[in-house]
Amino acid sequence: MMAATATFAALATEASAQQTPTCDPQAGETCSSTQTQTGDVTGLVNIDLSVDQVNVSTNAQGNALAGGVTAASAGLVSRQSMTGTTVARGNVVVNGEADGQLSVDTTARGNYLGVTTDRATFAVDASQSATGDRVEAGTYVQAPNGRVLQGGFATSTAVANTVALGGPSSSLTGVIDQRAQTTVFSETVADVQYIPAPATFSSQAVANAVQTNTTGASHQDLAIRQSNAASTTEARTDVYVDNGWDLTVGANAGANQAITANAGGSMLIQTDQANAGRVRAVARVQTNLQGQTVLAARSVANETVAGNNDIYLKLDNTQLNTGGVEANATYVGVNGYDAYVGSDAVGNAVTGYACSQCGGDVNVNNTQTNSGNVTATTNATVSSGRTAVVGANAIGNSASFYISRPGG
């Protein structure tokens, strides 16, 4: 269920040899959108079945704006405010034997802005605010006597504010401002008897998320501001499989994320992230018989990644974390082969890179301040097995800057 949705598009006309842009910022034209959602938004699926193939998708969004710009120049001013509750839940009961794959996906978002660009110049001025009671996504799979022969996945994603921009041969410029003060909770729970194929169970909870990706002859010049007030952001994954051959289980929590990638031009990114809330990731797995189990819990308060597979990157990054950060991974196995269990907790993390084969030039101004407690805990109990690799990493401030060849 989506409470408020809107779309826009800017296309070059073919009426004459000269293309006519729509909402052209160079001509003082701007598309604008204002969305305000005050009521609650709920998406719920309950299903009890005995079938070979299981595909279930549940989606709830407060405000959603999506559009595209192709072979044109466009500008957008977007204002989104969510003060209600957003909840999405998928409850699946599997009986007997399923010959096909299991696919269960649940997503809850407070505000969403997505723009695809193709040979375009796009200027954005976006503001998002999520201050409702909670943004919650839950995926629940019950098959204590069920056999899922082809494996599959079960995921849950809860994000208060989301901005996603990008495409080939594009220029992205502008300002993105995200503010959250709400509980963000994502949970995936599964109880399955037998899975003799690869299976993935995961949960992700993020207060503020920005992702940009431009390829070809492209350019980015963006200022990103993200603030998460005192609140709780938690991702939880809890899985029991009596006999699992190849299991991957994860929980990922973050207060502020800005992930930007470019190729074929210069990249100028300014990020300002502040978190005062609690950020927690919990992943737990229990098996009776298992072949390989990979279990990871990751929690990061503020995270910035700026990567340019071309010559020039300029990154100005400021991060402040005053909230607690926790990552907890627990595995209990009776009999089996290989178990890999890890937890990672970080207060502030930044990564910047450029292309060495292009004569890469990386210029960074980085300020990171962390006063919150950062805790990573890993517990593993294996009664009988071949390999156990266990680790826990807790870091207050992490910064990595490098020049590398593409893909290297």
Q: What is the pTM of this model?
A: 0.93
Residue 314 is predicted with a pLDDT of 96
Separation CA 207–CA 227 (nearest Å):
9
Inside any domain, residue 18: no
Inside any domain, residue 165: yes
Residue 172 is predicted with a pLDDT of 97
Inside any domain, residue 19: no
Separation CA 353–CA 314 (nearest Å):
10
Inside any domain, residue 17: no
- Residues 41-90 have pLDDT tens digits of 999 999 988 777 889 999 999 999 999 999 999 999 999 999 999 999 99
Residue 1 is predicted with a pLDDT of 52
Residue 12 is predicted with a pLDDT of 34
Inside any domain, residue 21: no
Inside any domain, residue 23: no
Separation CA 174–CA 73 (nearest Å):
13
Residue 6 is predicted with a pLDDT of 47
Residue 27 is predicted with a pLDDT of 67
Q: Where are the alpha helices (DSSP H) in 9-61?
A: none
Residue 269 is predicted with a pLDDT of 98
- Residues of the domain holding 362: 2-10+30-404
Residue 51 is predicted with a pLDDT of 75
Q: Which stretches in the chain have pLDDT values below 50? A: 2, 4-21
Residue-wise over 168-184: b if at least 16 C-beta within 10 A, else e? bbbbbbbebbbbbbbbb
What residues form DSSP beta bridges with 151? none
Residue 8 is predicted with a pLDDT of 45
Separation CA 257–CA 162 (nearest Å):
10
The structure tokens 């390829």 sit at 215
Separation CA 52–CA 334 (nearest Å):
29
Number of domains in the chain: 1
Inside any domain, residue 25: no
Residue 163 backbone zone (phi > 0: left; psi -120 to 50: alpha; other: beta): beta
- For residue 399, the Cα-to-chain-centroid distance in whole angstroms is 20
Residue 405 is predicted with a pLDDT of 63
Inside any domain, residue 280: yes
Residue 281 is predicted with a pLDDT of 98
Separation CA 142–CA 50 (nearest Å):
12
What size, in residues, is the chain? Answer: 408
Label residue 354 exposed, middle or buried (CB < 10 Å: 0-12, 13-18, 19+): buried
